[in-house]
Structure 1
Amino acid sequence: MDWIYAIIYGIVEGITEFLPISSTGHLILTGNFMNVPWSKEVKDAFEVVIQGGAILSVLVYYWRDFLQMRRIGTDRAQQTLWTGVLVATIPAVVLGLAFGDAIQAALFKPSVVAWALIVGGVLMWLIESRRVTPNVQAIEQIGVPRSFLIGLLQCLALVWPGFSRSASSILGGMILGLDRPTATKFSFYLGVPTLGGAALLNLVKERDLIFGEIGLVNVLLGAGVSFVVAYLAIGWLLKFVSTNNFKGFAVYRVILGIVILGLISAGVLQNGNLS
């Protein structure tokens, strides 16, 4: 059955990682309903490692853009863009290394995730209801100071599990004047060092545990499925945000949060620590 679990986890991760709906919330429900027999340590590590597949999909989807890094020595726009991405990543790295374990131990619970989904959904609706004309319509125009602020706002997903890294970075970008497509694309870019680094670190630290209980083939299967599904999700989301707002995602988040709280109340989902 491990290969079936790996495929389903890969599908859920691929769909939800870059959509502003919280991959954490969906993976919680997925693991609960499948009653996955893996140990909690293995399951947590596996969920992080298969993020590597989703991150690889960003590199492949934007391969032409990433090739432009070759001109970073002479191209001022490329220098500004990638300096901004690097600076925006720093807050999450510092906060994660300093307090990541403590935050996970104290806050990684279904009820916390549920309320993060609900509050995030309400904020998403309110932000989308504003009538503000964006003044940044290309990632090269974001600039380093604005990139740093987006990076700080991205940390909301770290200190409040379930808020969604994509949601916090996209909404943060919109608050700071980015249009929807630009905020979404920049969120993808930020995911490369942020999630890619976490996936690689977990793979190195927990390789014996993961491979010993799940096996290399199933890890590759989960990451591969995540890659394919995430690649499709990126293309769909970019087309969607070009003509639509995020209010539909806001409603979905609130409903999912209520469902999780309902499952907790009914005793179907235990509200114990998930780390």
Structure 2
Amino acid sequence: MSIIQAILLAIIEGITEFLPISSTGHMVLMSSFLGIEDDKFTKLFEVCIQLGAILAVVALYWKKFFDFSKWQFYVKLLLAVVPALIFGKLFDDLIDEHLGNPAFIATVLLIGGIILLFVDKWFKNPIIHEEPEINNLTAIKIGCYQCLAVMFPGLSRSAATIIGGMQQRLTRSLAAEFSFFLAVPTMAAATGYKLLKFIKEEGSISGEQIKLLGIGNVVAFIVAVLAIKFFISVLNKYGFKYFGIYRIIVGLGILILLAIGK
């Protein structure tokens, strides 16, 4: 992987991490286009730079994220992250197999796009408007929705958890905010696990690879800061419809290209 390739993947990650269009799916498709999809370091890179993008949440919401007087908030995040950690560990090999399958990812993008067209009509009457109103059981249920994104690359972690939050009667904006916060422990754990697995299998990680990871995380962080503000404004104004249309177009386009290529 070159520095230019690392920057391209990081820009895509920063833009798409918080949009309900699947950052993983877009990075896998881009790495396939660049011809580096089968490299083990690429797979590590695609996971690790998500942490850089996720840290944008900490930077933008630092007052709330580091309000240690509200310890219940951290308990909810820990409870919500457990289901995804269990599923990720149990089905790690199957997930990696799907990550290498553009047709699978395109199909999930397409189906997810169709679902997004109707989400705003399905969940119209929220009753939970503030984070303290989210109880532990609700947090766990939202965390279970995150498992869907773990099992089906291309679904979008943010889409799954935001929809899960709305299904649990959270307002759209609160569901998005909780999804952002939930991403922090999720991606921190995923990054640590993938790093340890890579080092165990490869024996070590080189200085050049560390540099690429550093560049990727910094670029993803900067782009994600801008993307979060954009997403919140679009979500509040227009809902999920246009994201759904985008996913359908991309999913169909990729499936058509793959069919032509065959």
Q: Which residue of 1 aligns with 2:227?
A: 233
Q: Which residue of 2 aligns with 1:119?
A: 111
TM-score normalised per structure 1 = 0.87
- How far apart are the structure 2 equivalents of 1:131 and 1:152? 18
Q: Which residue of 1 aligns with 2:260?
A: 266
Are the aligned partners of 1:81 and 1:143 in contact in 2 as well (CA < 8 Å)?
no
Q: Which residue of 2 aligns with 1:34?
A: 34
Paired residues for 1:58-137 under 5 Å: 58-69=57-68, 71=69, 78-105=70-97, 108-130=100-122, 132-137=124-129
Large movers: runs of 4+ above 4 Å: 207-211
Distance apart, 1:57 and its partner CA: 1.2
CA deviation map 1:200-239 (0-9, x unaligned)? 2223432567843843222211111001001111122122
Q: Which residue of 1 aligns with 2:248?
A: 254
- How far apart are the structure 2 equivalents of 1:260 and 1:90? 33
* RMSD, matched Cα: 2.1
The one-letter code sitting in structure 2 at the alignment partner of 1:101 is D
Q: Could you say what secondary structure the match of 1:178 adopts?
A: coil
Distance apart, 1:173 and its partner CA: 0.9
CA deviation map 1:143-170 (0-9, x unaligned)? 1111111111111111112111111001
- How far apart are the structure 1 equivalents of 2:132 and 2:151? 29
Are the aligned partners of 2:28 and 2:99 in contact in 1 as well (CA < 8 Å)?
no
Query: CA 1:52/1:107 → structure 2, altered by over 3 Å: closer, same or farther?
Result: closer
Q: Which residue of 1 aligns with 2:17?
A: 17
Q: Which residue of 2 aligns with 1:4?
A: 4
Deviates more, 1:23-32 or 1:8-17: 23-32
- How far apart are the structure 2 equivalents of 1:209 and 1:135? 51
Match of 2:150 among 137, 154, 158: 158
Runs (5+) with no aligned partner, structure 2? none
Match of 1:193 among 185, 192, 213: 185
Q: Percent identity, aligned pairs only?
A: 38
Distance apart, 1:131 and its partner CA: 6.3
The one-letter code sitting in structure 1 at the alignment partner of 2:55 is L
Are the aligned partners of 1:116 and 1:161 in contact in 2 as well (CA < 8 Å)?
yes
Deviates more, 1:13-22 or 1:259-268: 259-268
CA deviation map 1:58-89 (0-9, x unaligned)? 111111112212x1xxxxxx243222211111
Q: Which residue of 1 aligns with 2:164?
A: 172
Aligned residues: 260
Q: Does 1:143 align with 2:143?
A: no
Distance apart, 1:140 and its partner CA: 2.0
- How far apart are the structure 2 equivalents of 1:111 and 1:59? 34
Distance apart, 1:174 and its partner CA: 1.1
Distance apart, 1:39 and its partner CA: 4.9
Q: Could you say what secondary structure the match of 1:129 adopts?
A: helix
Distance apart, 1:259 and its partner CA: 1.3
Query: CA 1:236/1:107 → structure 2, altered by over 3 Å: closer, same or farther?
Result: closer
